[in-house]
Structure 1
Amino acid sequence: MKLLNPRRWITPRGMQGKIFIGFALVTLLSIVSVTSIVYVNMRDTIKQNAVTSVSDSIRQADESLNIMLQEIDRLNTVVVTNKNTVIDTILSPNEEISYEWFMEQKRITEFLAGLIDYKPYITRIAVIGTNGKVFFTGSPWLDRSFIETPMIKAILRDGSRHAYFKPAGTDDAITVGREIRYDRQAIGVVMVDLNYAFIKKTYGVKPTEDSMLYVLDENDGFVYQSESSQDSVAPAVETIVKVNRQFAGRGVADRVIDGKSYIVVKQQSAYTGWTTLALIPMDSLLSESTKIRNLMIEVSVIVFILVLIGSLQMSFRTTIHIRKLKSMMFRVREGNLSFPRTEIKSKDEIGDLYRVFIDMVEELKRLMEGIRVSEKNKREAELTALQAQIRPHFLYNSLNTIKYLAKLNGVPNIEEVSGSLIELMRGVLGNSNEFLTLREELDYVSSYVSIEKYKYMEPIRVTTQIEDDSLLECRVLKLMVQPLVENAIIHGIGRLGQEGFVRIRVYAELHDLRIEVTDNGKGMSEEEIAILLGEAGKEKSSSRFSGMGVRNVHERIVRMFGEPYGVKIYSEPGQYTKAEIRFPRFMEQGSSAKEVG
């Protein structure tokens, strides 16, 4: 497949560019995260395995050494408690170069040799008396000059406690010594030399080639140090002693020694009191992990490049239909609705979008045709509306003429009826707003009453009680009070045949506006109230003027504000009828209505 020039279609703002960049970032973050987690876990595992291996090896070495030292201590106990062969020989007055001395030496030498037979880890056992007598078996050679050495003095100073020494100037033995006492007096010492080759073999713990291991006694003297520590890059003796003193207790820690990172493992023997320090260089320990890390980086780079190539192809194939659809939309924007269409047959969201777009274009073409037809009809309707506007003006002018003639001829009742009718029709026909102020609504009621009172022989008194003048600015539905007054006059007072009155009472209750229309007519039965409110079947309109009865007012209020708002009627036949409106309290504020909270 021949690709387009990437500079033409891959941009950070384009969808293909966003898909490509997003996929590349997600892939890069995933590869980096996985590689980092694997590498860190691998490093930790290698370090933990090395520490575990060294700790177990040191523990096993200590246990092996302790077993040998315990065996040597038992041998020393046998020697210091043997009176006939050891103590009596040391205390014997026999001098050298005598038969008795020769027999004593032979007897004690055979005794000592029997103790160390079949114990290859012991190179020498010796009994040295403070009187200058020296008896030993094994090597190296001993003479009476050894009595004056610091080792003998230290063993005698420690009393019955076992003493462990690495003889100064020698690397082939560790000496275990104990004082020999008789009659509460120190008469000599017994010393057993441990083969140093066994020590080297026991402590030959090397997780890496350049690892180092040190065994220090309680006085920070070196009992053992691995051969790798003799290298020129090994830390100095003073540095090891300093690390040992800074490292409190046993455990594992990372330390930088002479500018080089080490894992330091420290353990202390409860039997000998010796401290074992293992220094594992971090570089050599993690050299394999570094190789694996580099390999992982190389593999990650190759995988990332392959993913980029794949995402490039995928983003191109994903957005090719979007680019086609975009081209068609640009043509529609330019007003070309009959453009050549490139069909998109995919069954995914892009295919659905293409089909919706084509349907939209067809609908747009149909609407454009409809607009042309409607514009023609609109011009015709404007002419008709202009003609219709003449009719209300003609009616207003005719009524004004009647009012003027009535005034000229001194007929005030005709003048009043004509004026009221003009005001009523002007408010109803000329005001298209659904809401108006209570003041305006009461003006409509006043105009209506001025017309209706001339239909009856007996006068009709209509009074209005306003609890608070501010309530006159509340917003109410248009023609909300007039149908109730009309019902009171026609169905209540009109059938009375005598003087009647209608009282309109307006007051506020919490957040509601209450309007009561009460008359002293014949009253209504429960059935008549139900019919009036539309609760017992369909009612014919009771309004001769507006076409809206009491039921219409109730339904309008309930439909707009819900229960419990609306109209309720209370009546006692032959006494009175009271219609009560409950309406939300809205105040006039500019051109909008605001509910009173």
Structure 2
Amino acid sequence: MKRSIKSRISYFTVGVALITGIIISAISFLIYRHYDTYLLITQAETNTKYTTDYLNTRLSNIQNFVRWCQNNNEIINFTLDTTKSNTSLVAAYDHLSDEYKNTAEKDYIYRILIFKNNGKLIQVLDAAHADSMYLSEKAASIPFIQQALYTVDYDLSMGLIIDPYEHNKQTIILPLIRPIYNPYNADIIGIVMLEINASLFSDTFESSLSKGNSFFLTIDNHTYKYEGGLLSDVTSKEGYNFWNLELDTQYSPSRSDTSIRYGTNDEGAYVYYITQPMEQANCYVTQMIPAITYPQKTIPFFILLILILVVLMVGIIIAAYMNHIVTKPVINLQKRLEKVSNGDFTRDLSIESSDEFGLIGQRINNMAEDINLLITNRLAFEKERQDIEYQLLQSQINPHFLYNTLGSIKWMATVQNVPGIAKMTTALSRLLKSISKIENVNIPISLECSLLDDYFTIQKYRYGGSIEMKYEVEDTSLLDYSILRFTLQPIVENSIFHGIEPKETAGLITIRIFSPDHNKIQIDIIDNGIGMDSFTIDNLLKANTGCKSNFFKDLGISSVHKRLQYEFGSSYGLSFQSEVGKYTKTSILLPKILSETNVKGEIPSYDDINCR
């Protein structure tokens, strides 16, 4: 019993609706949780990147200020000054103070110190820090200052420390220490020490912090947690060694330099750590976000979500099944019709079945086979028609031409008693033999030249030797390529009767054979006859032209052109170039196709061939 497509869709829809609700709950929950976590991590990653970029910009500005201190002429003169005068000191202080006031990050530069090797120093700081205004000349002898002089440029590995010059309060700073070099040699003549207030980091973290999240700053081997407006060192505290956690493989970061780790915090809760490197070496910003949990109160929300997803899934499955039994067969039928239109008429069993679409597919296959049979029969008919037409052409030798030829032979027999008669008779015999014996339409160029030479021998005696013909062959291997039989004879005959004969002087016909490129052959037939005007050239290839062959009935220039295009394509055939009173050149363009005919011809007068 066959079921219609409509009934199959109905039964399948009821069955899918019954079982979909059983499995959809778990799947929808997992998808929602994954997507929600992905959004949380993506937002945290973006926030961490923004915070890191902000800190990088601030620190870059501060480092540029330190470079200015290292290269300022007034400061260098102060460090080089060995006199007891304070002139250079005052000038350096003024320049340093002005630059400090114009620096965008002055609110986070706690103190600037310029030390000379003899112990003298310049200090610039905010007036609020007056308790540390006056420093001893031994201030530069602090051990970590001397160590920092020989570290990598702008190395921050010292981390956050308590300001060593404070007496009444403990201010957390990040020291930045660089040497001042003698401009005339590589000697260190002074020190620049800049104290970055830790509030640079705490203020930045505070502006980017979301509820429940935490920020960490890692400088070399030191890790600091921002909490309650302060940065506290948690390097050695248990629960904060997140660097030992493996990278999370479930959620990939959007940036290649960002890392995501999953683990527990100091309270044992599951969290994600999103880490972004800073531009400074071995410095990182890490944001900790809690993993999403789903308390009991969210259950009604998920029930509603599950119901929506159930309906959606049922619709998707019905659509998929409809696609399978309706849309897909229609697409297959369309593809099959496209193949038929492109010439593929083979039977495609994949579109045949017992339903309505299968019956349509069966009819399409039957139609394709009928079209294929019709085309095959038509091609066979056309081939047979061409063969018959060509055989008729071979048998339609113009009696008038034979009459004239025999008359010429008779005249030669009366006037001369030797070789002329023999040559004309031999040429005519070979020509007639070629017409009647050779059945191939495509022959080698060498054989076509032999036929042409036999024809020309007869015409040469007819005109009393007043016409000549020579060959110029670029490469004799070109003579092995294929050409249609009796392509050259009508063109040469046209050159004699319509070009040279009206001129009433001696004439020369040159046959030039060469290859214009690697896949074409060109044969130029050039005569020094009366030439043609542009109107004659434009009408030469028309079917009703009067340029007919006396040797073959209805085989004129236009017929030769059509035969070439029918055989080789529209890009091949004849073209003409002429100048009235001087010459006419007929060019034949052929494809390079080696002849399959075993019969080869010869151009009798090879001594006259000019091989270039």
**Based on CA coordinates, which of the two structures has the bigger radius of gyration?**
1
TM-score over 0.5 (shorter chain): no
Larger RCO of the pair (alpha carbons < 8 Å, separation 6+): 2
Q: Normalised by the size of structure 1, how large is the TM-score?
A: 0.39
Q: Normalised by the size of structure 2, how large is the TM-score?
A: 0.38
